[in-house]
Amino acid sequence: MSNIDISKGDIIWSYVSQFFNIASGLITLPLILHLLSTEEIAMNYLMLTVTTLVTLMDFGFTPQISRQVSYVYSGATKLLKEGIVEGSTGTVNYQLLACLLSVTRRIFRIISAIVLVLLMTLGTWYMYFVTEGFSNVDNSFAIWLVFCTSSFFSIYFKYYDSLLVGRGLVKESKQCILASKVLQIVLVYVLLLASVGLMGVCIANLISPFLGRYLAHHFFYDNGTISKLYGQAFSDELKSEIFQAIWYNAKKVGVNFIGTYCTRQFGMFLIGLYLASDVVASYGLMMQFVTIVTSISVTFFGTLQPQIISYRIQGDRVMTIRRFSYSIIVYYLLCICGLAVVVFLGSWALNLIGSNAQLPTLNILLLYSLVCFLEENHSNFAIFISSGNQVPFVPAALISGFLICIGDFVVLQFTSLGLLGIILIQGGVQLAYNNWYWPRWVLKEYRISFREFLKSGFCELYGMLKKIM
């Protein structure tokens, strides 16, 4: 049996990479908030919201491909639509891998082309409306065109990270992200200081992914892999079989992504239509800070995912739940500490740098932090469930997303609650079902209480800290 191991180096590089991934926003954020106008800041957040909507066209392929690559490198000889063949033996099936790579490339060529068309049509219509005919920011239409182009390449190159992580090359994956983000930071600073404005941010976003793609290709296609893939022939029937195996759950995950977007991002989309630019900038800033915290907090879980999948394929239920509980404890500790910093020090930091945008009031910050903490928690459990090649949470995600969309519209159209109403709707709908149901699903499947689950995670964390010290 091939086994995917996660080393200390993988974990360290994951956090270094995530730091610079965050830093690309945090290091440049003071300059952006100081040099750009409120209208430019608002436009930046609105562009990100539109792009998030369009990237739903990924439709769950990225995580599904990563899992399929992990299955192949763990010794699987067949990719199933649902479930996994536990106890698979043997080495990597390079014919299966070659076919999987061919299917993956074709999928992302199509996705990126569709995304570009949607951005240039529906996206342009939305940005035209919220920027008053591309008039409230200088060169806003040109900025939008560059942003569309950068989004196209970012989406097209996304599958390389899935290949590296799926193979267990976590360190290499993070090195690619690190290199790309460092280049982005340098370019943003140079261009902003050269008074290029928001256009400079978009140009940096356009150029930086190319470096990451070059390095990712170099790491994945090493000499050994190239020689073993060379000359591998596969039939159209096998390609169709692999695509069907990927699509079976990818479409479910994709629909779930739509529900997730409605839950987390649709409020921002509507706020751009109903509220003033300073409120849009404030809400976008809060979302960015909280997203930074949750992204850092789930990094460890993301790093362990290939190993967790490997244990599931081997049928080692004890190690599977131990590693997962360990990652959840790390998430709890990091997320609580990080959100506390945002809530109690965020406004002070913004005043220190002379920001042109401010965070919302303390009660809104506290409530939004709690809602996002609970959402990310149940999302982690849902991702764990999907690592077993099953996706049972799609209907719940769609229903929740639909209710939140309706609630957001009602709040903005018929009340004066504003941001508070948006957050109350989001938190209330999620608390009614998703926040507690998916954690309970996992605990029930592994016949473990939440107390035992936490104890297992703390024991793993203590053991790791003891080794380090």
What is the per-residue pLDDT for 10? 61
Closest among 245, 166, 200 to 28, alpha carbons compared = 200
Could you give the CA distance from residue 49 to residue 218 in angstroms, rounded to a whole number? 32
Is the model's pLDDT at 3 over the cut of 60?
no
Average pLDDT over residues 444-448: 93
Average pLDDT over residues 324-343: 95
In percent, how much of the chain has pLDDT > 70?
A: 89
**What stretch of H or E contains 170?**
helix 170-193
Is the model's pLDDT at 376 over the cut of 70?
yes
Could you give the CA distance from residue 311 to residue 319 in angstroms, rounded to a whole number? 7
Q: What is the pLDDT of residues 124-165, one digit of tens each?
A: 988 888 888 888 888 889 999 999 999 899 889 988 988 998
Could you give the CA distance from residue 241 to residue 219 in angstroms, rounded to a whole number? 28
Q: Name 55's Cβ contacts closer than 8 Å, sequence gap at least 6.
A: 115, 151, 155
What is the per-residue pLDDT for 171? 81
What is the per-residue pLDDT for 1? 42
101 or 464, higher pLDDT? 101
Give the number of other Cβ atoms within 10 Å of residue 196's Cβ. 17
Q: What is the pLDDT of residues 235-282, one digit of tens each?
A: 888 888 888 888 887 777 677 667 776 777 777 778 877 888 788 888
- DSSP letters of 390-415? --TTHHHHHHHHHHHHHHHHHHHHH-
Average pLDDT over residues 372-399: 87
Could you give the CA distance from residue 276 to residue 11 in angstroms, rounded to a whole number? 42
Q: Of the ranges 50-54, 268-272, 289-293, 368-372, which is most confident?
A: 368-372
Give the number of other Cβ atoms within 10 Å of residue 40's Cβ. 22
339-356 CB burial, b ≥16 within 10 A, e <16 = beebbeebbebbeeeebb
Sign of the C-alpha dihedral, residues 241, 243, 245, 247? negative
What pTM was estimated for this model as a whole? Answer: 0.66
The band of 218, judged by pLDDT with boundaries at 50, 70 and 90, is very high
Sign of the C-alpha dihedral, residues 201, 202, 206, 212? positive
Is the model's pLDDT at 23 over the cut of 60?
no
What is the per-residue pLDDT for 313? 76
Closest among 226, 232, 161 to 18, alpha carbons compared = 161
Could you give the CA distance from residue 273 to residue 269 in angstroms, rounded to a whole number? 7
Could you give the CA distance from residue 305 to residue 308 in angstroms, rounded to a whole number? 5
48 or 215, higher pLDDT? 215
Is the model's pLDDT at 17 over the cut of 70?
no
Is the model's pLDDT at 168 over the cut of 50?
yes
Cα distance from N-terminal residue to C-terminal residue, the chain: 33
Q: What is the pLDDT of residues 202-217, one digit of tens each?
A: 999 899 999 999 999 9
C-alpha to C-alpha distances, 431 to 51, 82, 378, 412, 435, nearest whole angstrom:
27, 29, 10, 21, 5
Is the model's pLDDT at 356 over the cut of 90?
no
